[in-house]
Structures are given as C-alpha cells and as structure tokens.
Amino acid sequence: MRHGKKINHLSRTSAHRKALLRNLTIALITHKRINTTLAKAKALRKYAEPLITKSKTNDTHNRRVVFSYLQNKEAVTELFSTVADKVADRPGGYLRVIKTGFRLGDGAETAMIELVDFNEVYDKNAAKSTSKTRRSRRRRGSKGSGSSSAATALETTTATTTEVTEETLSDKPAAAPIAAAAAPIAENPTAPKMPDVADATTAGEEE
C-alpha cells in the first residue's frame, strides 16, 4: 500500500520517471512555458523548483549538483544565467500551473506550467490605475433651504428668459411700411372711364 507517500509515480518506473522529469525540466528552462498533463505539471514543479533555488548561488558546487539532475550543459548555462537573474528576488514559488481543460483523445486534464517571472501579461501584482473619478456631492439640507433654493433658481431662470426676449426683439429689424397703403392706386389707361356722379347730374339739367 502507498499510504502517506506523497510522490506521484505517474505509472512509470523510477528510471523512466526520472528521465521524464529531466526532459520536462530542460524543455521548461529552454522555452519558459510548456503544456502537459496536470499530474505531470504538479510533479514537475516539485522536481524543478529546488534546482531553480540552487541556481541563485552561481558556484561550481551548485552547477555540478544541477548538472547531475539535468545532464544538459545548455540547460544548466541558461538556468544559471538568464533564469537566475530573473528569479533573484523571488523567495520561492518560481513556477505557475494553469489548467487548460481536457485532452480530446483520452480526456486527460491538461495544464500549462510556466516560469512566473517570464510572463509579462499575467501579473497579479500589477499597479492598479490611480485615476479617480470625480463625483459631485450633494448636501442634505432642511426643507426650507430646499424650497428657497428652488425659488432662487426659478427667479434666475425667469430673469434670463426676459433678457433673451428683449435682446431678440431689439435685434429684429422693423417691418417696412406697406407700400400699397401709402401710395395711391395707379389708374389703368386701357380701362373704360366711368362717368362721375356730378357730370351725370349736370348733363340732365342741360337737357
């Protein structure tokens, strides 16, 4: 029975499991981010984080210890140069595991494991925006003050309306006098002339 044993054997023998974790660690150091199953990602985090801690002290002893685990000179050089400079101020917790769903073939739960300091987009400690929205505050007064304020506002609106009306009337040009009323009606020369009443009376007296 495996009661109390925290290690995940990953259904592999000891040699196979060590080779798997070694290759995953080399890929993680080289690419800074890899996709694998969730169980392998959790086992890899336990395997790789102690090696990253050793890389903070760049001496011959730690290099030989890490090389005994990885057996890859390029990965050791990358770990003690680029990665060590990035994680120098971080006291542990160098890796992040993010679940990415389930694999289509067998339904295994997959995850992405990455170095925290090499992700420029996902940063929980990013400074929040300091811009503040200015909001107007309304004072709460008594009913009397509210009614007096309303009356003052009404008087101001009325005065403004009166001023606008006077300005509009002063700017409007005066209406031109009606020419038809002032000028006499012109006579039409072609129309037959109607006899006046006085002429008709004179003609009757002569007869």
The answer on pLDDT for 206 being more than 80 is no
Q: CA–CA separation, 63 vs 156, rounded Å?
A: 84
Note the pLDDT tens digit of each residue in 54-72: 999 999 999 999 999 999 9
- pTM for this prediction: 0.59
Q: CA–CA separation, 150 vs 146, rounded Å?
A: 6
Note the pLDDT tens digit of each residue in 141-159: 555 555 555 666 666 666 6
Tell me 207's DSSP state. -
Tell me 85's DSSP state. H
What rounded mean pLDDT belongs to the chain?
Answer: 79
pLDDT score at 2: 82
Q: CA–CA separation, 57 vs 54, rounded Å?
A: 6
First to last CA, the chain: 161
What type of residue is 125?
N
3-state secondary structure of 179: helix
